[in-house]
């Protein structure tokens, strides 16, 4: 069967998207590949179709390396629904289940086997791979989330480094490494660590045009989040990222108290609680998951309508990966973040206190500064984001800056005053002070600390009385972003000048800042009730919308029966196409996107029954 036939017959899609066909042809023919494709771009088909094609050609089993139990479960479940023999080996299996899977593996009776990198590197598993190789039954290695191999990646996992054994031990077996996020530095590290120097590189566009990027100044973060959800996404599924476990639990509880169904997720929770919360998020509609970055990688839920950050991530790769979990179905979604001076201070402190070598720390500082530049930007967010990944673009017309151009003010003189104050305070006292004290001096506030230290006598005392505390914090954030001032974590987070301070003090580096938005910003009308219809269904007429709702109810029942997320049965887009076309036969149903041969056989009659029942109900009315 050709790869196009597999796409259409097994998976039910009429045509390949983007670079999928070129990647699949290359890998099916036995070539190595490094694939960079955004979340929702269809990466899994790039190894699943070659796995099926190569096994049909008698070339054996594909081993998929994934660090994610949730992804293994969902993808294996989806493959079973499509009629593909797949299995996983992970800690959720009983000894008997694992033994049965290993027996099928050794016999070559699996098309795709998913396993974690820790298992791949065990002598027992390598011996099983040796046996397959000796019998010509080892077809392909697919290394998912390949950025985990890089120390520069945002999810570095040391066990990925040991995957070099695959090339060294099985040099004739092709490999495909895939990731949604990697800048040039991370890409180079992946190639070196996985020995993919001869692999063909496939880089898709990083643009996710359906995602609206919004970054706001942090004031009362949880209240800002609640307003965002209530006015923009009431009833929608979403993810809220927080930096600490404590903040995750507090935020989830606060949202629940405010009438928003929310669940916590972090590594400190009992494993059963984490799994139960994750399952509820995947299988229910309208649930908000509040989590640390321990949650999300490999989550395939397509209808996540927003991703919010209450704390700043470490770098743009992490931000892009996390926000990319919104809108996987192509429907409009939001990436919303609020951040403030303390976020910047915390991130710089974590870098400075790290035991890593100074060269590595400097790389991390550079990545943080790039993210700060995105947060403080007054031009198109999307252009800035894509430029980081070496992709040129035009203003998107959809981010917050494009929709409402921010007012900008020249903060160059204010920046010089702030740096001068930092310098004079240190000269006078022999040591530095924190941001609050420096701002008090600039604004002319005679606090107990100012009076005790005699800092009201400084020449810069009161020179910044015309600016608010919020404006001064904005100036300081920008100076931190361009490395013109540093936070000394070893000295109680005091401010210190840097090599970059001199150019600002001389007026050689202009500093322009956005004017802070008023506390009562414009919102869309307050949403009430449940989530709005997805765009693919909202465009249907009344009768088709009723059919869509009936199909969703049927799908939910089937998903519960199979213990799978609803989207594994059929995506919303497939249900909308069924409702729109109202097919009356299996032949008519077969031509719709997302309905392969196995799903037609398994569900075709039931779908047609739903359509007939809904039509009869409309006729009675």
Element (H, E) at 524: none
Q: Which of 371, 315, 266, 301 is nearest to 74 (CA)?
A: 301
Pairing of strands 138-143, 494-497: unpaired
Q: Which of 529, 5, 576 is nearest to 330 (CA)?
A: 576
Cα 235 off chain centre by: 21
| The total number of residues written for the chain in this structure | 621
Measured distance CA(564)–CA(561) in Å, rounded: 8
Band (522; pLDDT cuts 50, 70, 90): very low
Q: Residues 348-396: pLDDT tens digits?
A: 778 878 888 888 888 888 888 888 889 888 899 999 999 988 899 999 9
pLDDT at 171 over 50: yes
Return the structure tokens found at 61: 């089993």
Phi/psi for 283 (5° steps) reads -100, -10
- CB 300, CB 71: distance < 8 Å: yes
Q: Residues 560-602: pLDDT tens digits?
A: 898 888 888 999 989 999 999 999 999 999 889 899 999 999 9
Q: Which single residue is written with the structure tokens 């290993």? A: 102
Q: What DSSP string runs through 356-367?
A: S-HHHHHHHHHH
pLDDT at 296 over 80: no
Measured distance CA(3)–CA(9) in Å, rounded: 10
pLDDT at 482 over 90: no
Measured distance CA(477)–CA(428) in Å, rounded: 24
Measured distance CA(233)–CA(332) in Å, rounded: 11
Of 33-47, 497-511, 521-535, 546-560, give the lowest mean pLDDT range: 521-535
Q: What is the largest CA-CA distance in the chain?
A: 88
pLDDT at 530 over 50: no
Complete domains list, the chain, with CATH: 3-203 (3.40.50.300), 211-339+377-406 (3.40.50.300), 409-509 (1.10.10.10), 535-620 (1.10.150.80)
Q: Measured at the alpha carbon of residue 304, what is the angle toward residues 301 and 307, in degrees to the nearest 5?
A: 125
pLDDT attached to residue 182: 79
- The pLDDT > 90 percentage for the chain reads 56
- The pLDDT > 70 percentage for the chain reads 95
Q: What are the respective helix, strand and coil percentages of the chain, to the nearest 5?
A: 50, 15, 35
Please compute, for residue 111, the number of CA atoms within 13 A of its CA located in the half-sphere on the CB side.
20
**185 in helix, strand or coil?**
helix
**87 in helix, strand or coil?**
strand
- CB 559, CB 580: distance < 8 Å: no
pLDDT at 153 over 70: no
Contacts of 609 (CB under 8 A, 6+ apart): none
Contacts of 276 (CB under 8 A, 6+ apart): none
Provide the whole-model pTM: 0.80
pLDDT attached to residue 483: 78
Measured distance CA(298)–CA(68) in Å, rounded: 6
pLDDT at 191 over 90: yes
Q: Residues 434-475: pLDDT tens digits?
A: 889 999 999 999 999 999 999 999 999 999 999 999 889 888
Q: Measured at the alpha carbon of residue 64, what is the angle toward residues 60 and 70, in degrees to the nearest 5?
A: 135
Of 234-243, 424-433, 605-614, give the lowest mean pLDDT range: 424-433
Measured distance CA(192)–CA(185) in Å, rounded: 11
Measured distance CA(165)–CA(171) in Å, rounded: 9
Return the structure tokens found at 239: 């993810």
**86 in helix, strand or coil?**
strand
**189: phi > 0 → left, psi -120 to 50 → alpha, else beta; which?**
alpha
Band (298; pLDDT cuts 50, 70, 90): low
Q: What is the mean pLDDT of residues 332-353?
A: 86
Q: Tell me what the pLDDT averaged over the chain comes to.
A: 89
């Amino acid at each position: 069967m050709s790869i196009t036939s597999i796409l259409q017959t097994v998976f039910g899609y009429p045509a390949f998207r983007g670079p999928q066909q070129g990647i699949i042809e290359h890998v099916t023919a036995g070539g190595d590949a490094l694939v960079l494709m955004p979340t929702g771009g269809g990466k899994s088909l790039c190894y699943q179709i070659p796995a099926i094609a190569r096994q049909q050609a008698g070339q054996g089993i594909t081993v998929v390396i994934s660090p994610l139990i949730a992804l293994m479960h969902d993808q294996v479940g989806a493959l079973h629904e499509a009629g593909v023999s797949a299995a996983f080996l992970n800690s959720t299996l009983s000894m008997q289940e694992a033994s049965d899977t290993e027996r099928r593996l050794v016999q070559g009776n699996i098309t795709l086997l998913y396993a974690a990198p820790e298992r791949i590197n065990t002598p027992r598993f390598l011996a099983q791979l040796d046996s397959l190789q000796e019998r010509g039954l080892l077809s392909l290695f697919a290394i998912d989330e390949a950025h985990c191999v890089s120390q520069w990646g945002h999810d570095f996992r040391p066990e990925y480094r040991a995957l070099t054994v695959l090339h060294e031990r099985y040099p004739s077996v092709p490999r495909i490494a895939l990731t949604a996020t990697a800048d040039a530095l991370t890409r180079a590290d992946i190639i070196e660590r996985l020995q993919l120097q001869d692999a063909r590189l496939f880089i898709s566009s990083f643009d996710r045009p359906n995602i609206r990027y919004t970054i706001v100044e942090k004031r009362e973060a949880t209240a800002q989040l609640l307003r965002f959800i209530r006015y923009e996404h009431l009833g929608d599924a979403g993810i809220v990222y927080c930096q600490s476990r404590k903040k995750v639990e507090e935020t989830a509880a606060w949202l629940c108290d405010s009438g928003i169904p929310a669940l916590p997720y972090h590594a400190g929770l009992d494993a059963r609680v984490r799994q139960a919360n994750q399952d509820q998020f995947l299988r229910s509609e309208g649930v908000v998951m509040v989590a640390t970055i321990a949650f999300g990688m490999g989550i395939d839920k397509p209808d996540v309508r927003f991703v919010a950050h209450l704390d700043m991530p470490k770098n743009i790769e992490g931000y892009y990966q996390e926000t990319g979990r919104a809108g996987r179905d192509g429907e409009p979604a939001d990436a919303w973040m609020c951040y403030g001076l303390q976020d910047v201070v915390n991130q710089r402190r974590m870098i400075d206190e790290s035991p890593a070598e100074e060269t590595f720390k400097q790389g991390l500082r550079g990545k943080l500064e790039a993210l700060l530049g995105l947060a403080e930007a007054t031009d198109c967010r999307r252009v800035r984001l894509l430029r980081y990944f070496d992709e040129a673009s035009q203003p998107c017309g959809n981010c917050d800056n494009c929709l409402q151009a921010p007012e900008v003010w020249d903060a160059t003189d204010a920046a010089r005053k702030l740096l001068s104050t930092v310098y004079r305070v240190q000269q006078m006292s022999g040591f530095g002070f924190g941001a609050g004290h420096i701002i008090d001096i600039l604004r002319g506030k005679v606090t107990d600390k100012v009076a005790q230290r005699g800092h009201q006598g400084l020449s810069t005392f009161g020179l910044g009385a015309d600016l608010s505390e919020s404006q001064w914090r904005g100036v300081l954030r920008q100076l931190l972003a361009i490395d013109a001032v540093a936070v000394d974590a070893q000295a109680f987070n005091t401010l210190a000048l840097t090599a970059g301070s001199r150019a600002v003090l001389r007026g050689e580096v202009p500093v322009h800042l956005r004017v802070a938005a008023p506390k009562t910003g414009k919102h869309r009308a307050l949403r009430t009730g449940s989530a709005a219809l997805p765009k693919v269904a909202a465009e249907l007429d009344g009768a088709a919308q009723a059919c869509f709702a009936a199909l969703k109810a049927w799908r939910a029942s089937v998903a519960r029966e199979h213990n799978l997320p609803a989207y594994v049965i059929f995506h919303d887009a497939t249900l909308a196409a069924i409702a729109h076309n109202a097919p009356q036969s299996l032949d008519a149903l077969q031509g719709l996107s997302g309905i392969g041969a196995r799903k037609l056989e398994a569900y075709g009659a039931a779908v047609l029954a739903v359509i007939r029942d809904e039509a009869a109900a409309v006729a009675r009315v």
